[in-house]
Amino acid sequence: MRITVINPNTSQHMTDLIGQSARGVALPGTVIDAVCPDMGPASIESHYDEALSVPGLLARIESAERAGAEGHVIACFGDPGLDAARELATGPVVGIAEAAMRVATSLGRSFSVVTTLRRTCGRAWDLAERYGVRGFCAGVHACEVPVLDVDGCPELIAATCRSVLERDGSDVLVLGCAGMTSLCAKLSAELGVPVVDGVRSATLLVQSLVLMGLRTGKHGEFAAPPPKPYAGPLHGFGRG
């Protein structure tokens, strides 16, 4: 089996960390292609960055499918471009916020999310609403560490997690950034509660879907996008 794990920002270091985590939980026979786009923002810290990460992300999914990928993970906690990717791809597509938040609901009454910058908390709430888990989400909190610095700040992040768990009284902690994937084991050990990493959760979910032969339903909203003229630098996206 071949699964693409797409880091929607253009940081190769973060892409490598993400690939490592995904490979660590995948089946022996599963090939994990950890990739990032060749166009778009170096990190995603605003709705603007998120919107502009999508064209490159979609291009990656298209080329991955041509290369035989059977399923796809979008490895950014804003789950950018998820609906568009589901139209485009033949195989299943899962976002890491989607996977992490859903896994968390099976581990207790409530979870708290710790993410990077405060300005991104709204997006996490929107996703919780979309995925129907708002009632399980006790809080979304920022540690105010920029995305690309996350894996170098384990202490600061651990401290935020501890105070968040105290305040929210929640059963489970959800890591609110793909860049935190490398901190998961350490945080689990320190915090004494289940710590859910979206990269691992989404990789396992996509792998499970492929194993069961399940893909996005293609008879309605998520049918392949109709080909049509595309102007300007996005010309190639017209799927004609």
Q: Of residues 31, 162, 190, 237, which one binds its own copies by CB under 8 A?
A: 237
Task: Check residue 197 for interaction with its own copies (CB under 8 A).
Answer: yes
Site residues for its own copies, 21-50, by CB under 8 A, read 25, 27, 37-43, 45-50
d(CA 30, CA 177): 24
Edge-to-edge strand ranges of the sheet holding 195-196 = 137-142, 111-115, 172-175, 195-196
Give the x/- contact pattern for its own copies in 205-224, rule: CB under 8 A.
Answer: x--xx-xxxxxxx-xxxxx-
Minimum separation from the CB atom of position 182 to its own copies (A)? 14
The residues, any chain, with a CB within 8 Å of residue 231's CB and separated by 6 or more, are none
Closest contact distance (angstroms) between CB of 174 and its own copies is 11
Single residue of 79, 131, 158, 198 touching its own copies by CB under 8 A: 131
* The pair of three-digit structure tokens given for residue 35, joined into one six-digit string: 């990739």
> Is 144 among the residues that bind its own copies (CB under 8 A)?
no
Beta strands in 62-214 (DSSP E): 71-74, 93-95, 111-115, 137-142, 172-175, 195-196
Contact call for residue 70 and its own copies (CB under 8 A)? no
